[in-house]
Amino acid sequence: MPAVPTAAPEPLDPSRAAGVDEREPGHRALPVHEPAAAELARAATRAADDLLAPPPGGADDLLAPPPGGADDLPAPPTGAADDLPAPPVRVRLGDVVPAPERVTPVPGADFVLAPDTAILVSGDDARAVAGQLAALLRPATGYPLPVTDATRPEPAGGITLTLAAADHGPEGYRLDVTPDGVRIEAATPAGLFHGVQTLRQLLPAAIESPVPVAAHWALPGGSITDRPRFPYRGVMLDVARHFFGVPDVLRVIDHLARYKLNHLHLHLTDDQGWRIAIDSWPRLTEVGGAGEVGGGPGGHYTRDDYRRIVAYAAERHVTVVPEIDLPGHTNAALTAYGELAPDGTAPPPYTGTEVGFSYVDPTNERTYELVADVLGEIAALTPGPWLHIGGDEAFKVRPDAYAAFVERTQRIVAGTGKTVVGWHQIAPVAHAEGRVLQWWGTKGEDPVTADAVHRGARLVLSPGNHAYLDMKYAPDTPIGHDWAGLIDVRRAYDWDPGTHVVGVPADAVLGVEAPLWTESVTSRAEVEFMLFPRLPAIAELGWSPRARHDWAGFRDRLASHGPRWAAAGMAFHRSPEIPWPAERPAPAARQAAIPTQTNHPTPTTTHTTLPTQTDPEDAPAPSPSA
């Protein structure tokens, strides 16, 4: 592929940047790097090797899928569950991440999933969640798990999902495990869905296997009642610096769902690329979408791609928050429509990693036509309530012009019927009804933001030095930045969103979000490596009550998730802070994990396509009778 020349931005005026940029002195643009995919693939393979014992035939066998593919794997057991080998690691009822509000174990009251277990629903709206539960459990168990109506109040031997008027809140649930069955009750499908994610974590790690394995599918007995601390729990994916296709985004949505996160913020535009098709301004993607950091081909979402993403997210109770970054971070837009540049001339495409040099002309009326058209089209495609307008690092726009631009843009958003979100740089401007500031500071003292909160704004917290998942874990992390410091798992976990910003009360905090900027992140494996294990840490801060935050407990609960990620074929950082289990899964589970473990990215290309990059929706349907 032809390399796109890297345009040199004008250097920033440091005295100006100092007052606005939160970054610590010494921050520099990342050098355009060689892909770290190879290194990550090796790390992931090592992690898998450590977590999964070598088979009797020697380590080489780990790398080869079974001769006939998955079909050659052992058929699931058909006999009584009691005949199965004992599980290598016993899941405890309290091992869930994020930690549930209340857990009451009942020793000896385990429920064991059997070949004839059925999923019973009461309430039509529960049926979709029941189908999702069946789809999660069928591949590894190989059981048919039919979904049927619960005609009896307490059917024996089944998993019952019930929508009830009980007070679980809009996302809470109650889960009861007894030897006779499992019951999840919630007031909403979202609550049931979160309960299903808990149920999933209570089964042995081998439940994540994409192919049938023999295991003792026991769930520990007892009860859990649970509900989130904050209504907004999110992850941001920057698809502008490097473009990630629809299947990658759907897979990230699956990761959010596992950990009860309910917002996916897509950073859709930046200097290096415009990633969402706009009918009324087609050159935004035709010209502005054709590049990325390092000179790769870039790409964009068609309107149908975007619809597919929001629909897939909605099925998983995840709201998409689209961001169009304005007035800065707009070089890609200006390559397409040079008339909006302050000097009226289109700049060259940009493939570097500097920030703060570009902006649309805030004194040009045509700029507001673009803003209204773009935000109008995106609002019409987006079912969720939010439109994120960026607002960060517009270093070259004078403060009065910046304020006028943001205020006018806030009004345009209100006109679309959506609620405006912006990076906290928009704090000083006039309040707009319901507006939300996304705070990415690194020092909890921020009087300008606290003042905006007193004028009515709410905050989503993404502290740069705790929640920025593009920061390195450690000095030797192969990809990532360090301008906000190193963020190991403990640092991601050890802060309290309720008290983090001085003068901002907990009830003004809408929630938390972990942004993943992708200047150095080029592949799905690299995305997963940066997300795991820090994403579950942020998820716990967003979901679990303050009283349940406890690093030692979190670390221990999280440890049992390593084998789950390995079985699901996910890359992750095998952080030395986490006591990953030494026990080995049962032999069949090991074998089942092999096909995905061989599918980590190959080392040689900048934009690695994983052989496993199947769309989660296109994945072959599990065959219940396999």
The answer to whether 284 and 325 are in contact (CB under 8 A) is: no
Token readout for 485 is 């410091």
The tokens 């940009």 sit on which residue?
350
- Considering the complex, state which of residue 394 and residue 610 has its C-beta at the smaller distance from ligand TNX: 394
- Considering the complex, state which of residue 318 and residue 421 has its C-beta at the smaller distance from ligand TNX: 421
Smallest gap from residue 148 Cβ to ligand TNX (A): 49
What residues from 128 to 157 belong to the interface with ligand TNX (CB under 6 A)?
A: none
Q: Which of 325, 297, 288 is nearest to 522 (CA)?
A: 297
Smallest gap from residue 561 Cβ to ligand TNX (A): 26
Q: Which residues on neighbouring strands pair with residue 269, listed in sequence order?
A: 274
- Considering the complex, state which of residue 185 and residue 393 has its C-beta at the smaller distance from ligand TNX: 393
By CB under 6 A, tell whether 423 contacts ligand TNX. Answer: yes
d(CA 574, CA 325): 34
> How far, rounded to the nearest angstrom, does the alpha carbon of residue 162 sit from its chain's CA centroid?
28
The answer to whether 40 and 482 are in contact (CB under 8 A) is: no
By CB under 6 A, tell whether 470 contacts ligand TNX. Answer: yes
Smallest gap from residue 382 Cβ to ligand TNX (A): 20
> How far, rounded to the nearest angstrom, does the alpha carbon of residue 599 sit from its chain's CA centroid?
21
Q: Residue 582: CB partners within 8 Å, gap ≥ 6?
A: none
- Considering the complex, state which of residue 262 and residue 462 has its C-beta at the smaller distance from ligand TNX: 462
d(CA 158, CA 11): 65
d(CA 56, CA 198): 34
Pattern 330-369, ligand TNX, x by CB under 6 A: -------------------------x--------------
d(CA 446, CA 424): 10
Cis, bond preceding 576 (omega within 30 deg of 0): no
What residues from 557 to 586 belong to the interface with ligand TNX (CB under 6 A)?
A: none
- Considering the complex, state which of residue 449 and residue 560 has its C-beta at the smaller distance from ligand TNX: 449
What residues from 59 to 98 belong to the interface with ligand TNX (CB under 6 A)?
A: none
Interacting residue with ligand TNX among 258, 300, 481, 564 (CB under 6 A): 481
Radius of gyration of the chain (CA): 24
What residues from 210 to 249 belong to the interface with ligand TNX (CB under 6 A)?
A: none
Q: Residue 556: CB partners within 8 Å, gap ≥ 6?
A: 579
The count of residues interacting with ligand TNX (CB under 6 A) is: 10
Q: How far is CA 197 from CA 140, 202, 259, 371, 562, in A?
A: 16, 9, 7, 39, 16
Interacting residue with ligand TNX among 217, 244, 350, 440 (CB under 6 A): 440
What residues from 175 to 204 belong to the interface with ligand TNX (CB under 6 A)?
A: none
Smallest gap from residue 267 Cβ to ligand TNX (A): 8
Q: Which residues on neighbouring strands pair with residue 273, listed in sequence order?
A: 270
Q: Which of 438, 256, 264, 348 is nearest to 6 (CA)?
A: 348
Q: Which of 387, 398, 392 is nearest to 362 (CA)?
A: 398
Interacting residue with ligand TNX among 208, 354, 361, 393 (CB under 6 A): 393
What is the separation, in whole angstroms, between the first and last Cα of the chain? 43
Pattern 266-285, ligand TNX, x by CB under 6 A: --------------------
Interacting residue with ligand TNX among 392, 488, 526, 528 (CB under 6 A): 392
d(CA 256, CA 536): 9
d(CA 500, CA 494): 11
Smallest gap from residue 440 Cβ to ligand TNX (A): 4
The per-residue DSSP string of 298-336 comes to: ---B-HHHHHHHHHHHHHTT-EEEEEEEESBS-HHHHHH
- Considering the complex, state which of residue 241 and residue 458 has its C-beta at the smaller distance from ligand TNX: 241
Q: What are phi and psi of 178, to 5 degrees?
A: -130, 165
Smallest gap from residue 51 Cβ to ligand TNX (A): 30
Smallest gap from residue 481 Cβ to ligand TNX (A): 5
Q: Which residues on neighbouring strands pair with residue 509, listed in sequence order?
A: 459
Angle between helices 37-51 and 524-531 (to 10 degrees): 60
Smallest gap from residue 470 Cβ to ligand TNX (A): 5
- According to DSSP, residue 424 is labeled G
By CB under 6 A, tell whether 292 contacts ligand TNX. Answer: no
- Considering the complex, state which of residue 392 and residue 528 has its C-beta at the smaller distance from ligand TNX: 392
The tokens 């007995």 sit on which residue?
221
Catalytic residues: 393
- Considering the complex, state which of residue 98 and residue 327 has its C-beta at the smaller distance from ligand TNX: 327
d(CA 77, CA 84): 8
- Considering the complex, state which of residue 95 and residue 470 has its C-beta at the smaller distance from ligand TNX: 470
What residues from 495 to 554 belong to the interface with ligand TNX (CB under 6 A)?
A: 517, 519
- SS (HEC) of 602-622: CCCCCCCCCCCCCCHHHCCCC
Smallest gap from residue 390 Cβ to ligand TNX (A): 7
Smallest gap from residue 31 Cβ to ligand TNX (A): 14
- Considering the complex, state which of residue 168 and residue 267 has its C-beta at the smaller distance from ligand TNX: 267
Is the sign of the CA dihedral 124, 203, 593, 530 positive or negative? positive
- Considering the complex, state which of residue 463 and residue 562 has its C-beta at the smaller distance from ligand TNX: 463
Smallest gap from residue 516 Cβ to ligand TNX (A): 9
Q: How far is CA 50 from CA 53, 59, 193, 216, 574, in A?
A: 7, 11, 32, 22, 10
Q: Point out which residues bind ligand TNX (CB under 6 A).
A: 355, 392-393, 423, 440, 468, 470, 481, 517, 519
